[in-house]
């Protein structure tokens, strides 16, 4: 690659989230012929959200494979391919449909390496467009990442920026373990700086998006962006919020969260998945169990999705998940009154 010119361009280059994912796929396929794509309408149609785009034309139908509508079949074939040395990257068209692939992901992909004493591994990547906000109703809008974060043997990622979407996907393809990447549908069109070269963003390392002193807001995926926007508004009200983008749910970067809370003494966890039994509960408990407990100056607050199926009605749909205003309110209450 003529790196001189490319790097010069990369400094000012902006890509959408979807383009960044596509670029990662293309670069991985170029670099390693074992990498192939797999999923419903990922080929000629270019993917339900246009992520795979023209890849079928660049790499051929042998490597960008349209599958029947059978998530269990897709996942099972991917597990098989991975065990036999391939590097499958599959797309579950809407992450909600992953329910049909649970057997292969949870009982097979996650466990094979351990049950065979490391003699087999399952280097597969599953991309799952998820989240609400598109008017797609209860069966096409869920945020199910916490389910998988509960399973030892799986890695679960939630990149929030085009930069991380590319870098984490490449890191996931390198990883010898099954990795699930939840991509929020509302993020696909967001743009950001994306270097042209094939870089990696390490799995299991959170990013501090904004430094602050009054409270720590932890979020991932689109909630990290909402937290950043909220932090900007909070700053104008004299509240200094530190924003941590988890990026990786499992493994989780507890050290970064703990160090931040040790500094700010207050924690607000924001996530789109259903609040009850969710990621926020895990993070809260980790803090409560750790030595950082002694640094808390207020209860830990979770802002999570409503205990309800995502409504179709757009007003209710918005109300069912944390919004920027909710984060501002909760953070203000936490800092000013001691609770949200």
Partner 1 sequence: MPIEVILPKVDMDMETGTIEAWHVKEGDLVRQGDTIFEIGTNKAVMEVEAPASGAIRNIKAETGVPISVGTPVAWIYLDGEAATTPSEPAAAAATVAAATSLPKAEAQVAPVMAAAPTSSGLRATPLARRIARQNALDLKTVTGTGPRGRIGEADVTRHLEQRPRCTPAQDARPAPTLSTNVSEGRLQPFSAIRRIVANRLSESMRTAPHFYLTSEIEMSAARDLLGRLAKRHERIGAPKPSLTVLIARIVARALRDHPVINASVEGEATRFHERIDIGIAMERDGDLVVPVLRDAGGMDMPAMTREFARLREGMAKRTLTPAELGGGTFTISNLGMYGVDSFTAIINPPQGAILAVGRTVDKPVGRNGQIVLRPMANFTLSSDHRIVDGVAAARFMADLREALENPELLL
Which residue in the list 140, 145, 183, 282 is annotated as catalytic? Answer: 140
Q: Which of 254, 265, 281, 319 binds partner 1 (CB under 8 A)?
A: 265
Q: Measured between alpha carbons, how far is 259 from 257 in angstroms, rounded to an integer?
A: 6
Q: How many CA atoms, within 13 angstroms, populate the side-chain half-sphere of residue 235?
A: 13
163 is catalytic: no
CB distance 250 to 147 below 8 Å: no
Closest CB 293 distance from partner 1, rounded Å: 5
Strand partners of residue 217:
243, 268
From residue 215, alpha-carbon distances to 40, 296, 298, 301, 338 in Å are: 43, 10, 10, 11, 11
140 is catalytic: yes
In the complex, minimum distance from the CB of residue 294 to partner 1, in angstroms, rounded to a whole number:
4
Q: How far apart are CA 316 and CA 299, in angstroms?
A: 28
Work out how close the CB of 238 gets to partner 1 at its nearest, in angstroms, rounded to a whole number: 15
Which of 7, 297, 307, 325 lies at the binding interface for partner 1 (CB under 8 A)?
Answer: 297
With binding defined as CB under 8 A, does residue 337 bind partner 1?
Answer: yes
Q: Is 119 in the site for partner 1 (CB under 8 A)?
A: no
Alpha helix stretches (DSSP H) within the chain: 3-10, 17-31, 55-59, 71-83, 102, 112-115, 145-149, 162-174, 221-236, 254-264, 279-289, 314-319, 324-336
Taking CB under 8 A as the rule, does residue 199 contact partner 1? no
Question: Residues 72, 137, 186, 298: which binds partner 1 (CB under 8 A)?
Answer: 298
Among 232, 295, 306, 324, binds partner 1 (CB under 8 A): 295
- Are 250 and 149 a contacting pair, CB within 8 Å? yes
**Least distance in Å: CB of 265 to partner 1?**
5
296 part of the interface to partner 1, by CB under 8 A: yes
Task: Answer for the pair 252, 204: CB distance below 8 angstroms, yes or no.
Answer: yes
Alpha-carbon distance values, 260 to 8, 43, 132, 218 (Å): 35, 44, 29, 10
Contact 129, 93 (CB under 8 A): yes
Cβ at position 312, least distance to partner 1 in Å = 37
Size of the residue set binding partner 1 (CB under 8 A): 10
Residues with Cβ within 8 Å of 150's Cβ and at least 6 positions away in sequence, in order, are none
Binding residues for partner 1 restricted to 275-294, rule: CB under 8 A = 293-294
Query: Which of the residues 71, 183, 228, 317 is marked catalytic?
Result: 71
103 is a site residue for partner 1 (CB under 8 A): no
Give catalytic residues, as residue numbers. 71, 140
Query: By the criterion CB under 8 A, which residues form the site for partner 1?
Result: 265, 293-298, 337-339
């Amino acid at each position: 690659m003529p790196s001189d010119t490319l790097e010069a361009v990369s400094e000012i280059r902006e890509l959408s989230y979807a383009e960044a994912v596509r670029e990662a796929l293309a670069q991985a396929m170029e670099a390693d012929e074992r990498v192939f794509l797999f999923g419903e309408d990922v080929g000629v149609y270019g993917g339900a959200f246009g992520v795979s785009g023209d890849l079928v034309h660049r790499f051929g139908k042998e490597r960008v494979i349209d599958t029947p509508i059978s998530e269990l079949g897709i996942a099972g074939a991917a597990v098989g391919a991975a065990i036999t040395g391939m590097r499958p990257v599959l797309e579950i068209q809407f992450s909600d449909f992953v329910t049909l692939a649970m057997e292969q992901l949870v009982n097979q992909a996650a466990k094979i390496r351990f049950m065979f004493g490391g003699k087999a591994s399952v280097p597969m990547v599953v991309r799952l467009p998820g989240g609400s906000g598109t008017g797609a109703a209860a069966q096409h809008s869920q945020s199910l990442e916490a389910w998988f974060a509960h399973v030892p043997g799986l890695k679960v990622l939630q990149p929030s920026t085009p930069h991380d979407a590319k870098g984490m996907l490449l890191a996931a393809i390198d990883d010898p373990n099954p990795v699930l990447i939840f991509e929020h549908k509302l993020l696909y069109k967001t743009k950001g700086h994306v270097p042209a070269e094939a870089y990696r963003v390490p799995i299991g390392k959170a990013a501090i998006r904004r430094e602050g002193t009054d409270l720590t807001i932890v979020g991932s995926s689109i909630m990290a962006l909402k937290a950043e926007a909220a932090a900007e508004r909070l700053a104008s009200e004299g509240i200094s919020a530190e924003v941590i983008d988890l990026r990786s749910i499992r493994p989780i970067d507890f050290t970064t969260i703990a160090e931040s809370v040790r500094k700010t003494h207050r924690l607000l966890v924001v996530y789109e998945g259903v609040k009850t039994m969710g990621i926020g509960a895990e993070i809260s408990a980790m803090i409560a169990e750790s030595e950082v407990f002694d640094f808390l100056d207020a209860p830990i607050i979770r802002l999570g999705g409503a205990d309800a199926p995502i409504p179709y009605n757009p007003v209710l749909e918005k109300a069912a998940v944390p919004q920027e205003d909710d984060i501002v309110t909760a953070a203000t209450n936490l800092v000013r009154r001691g609770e949200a």
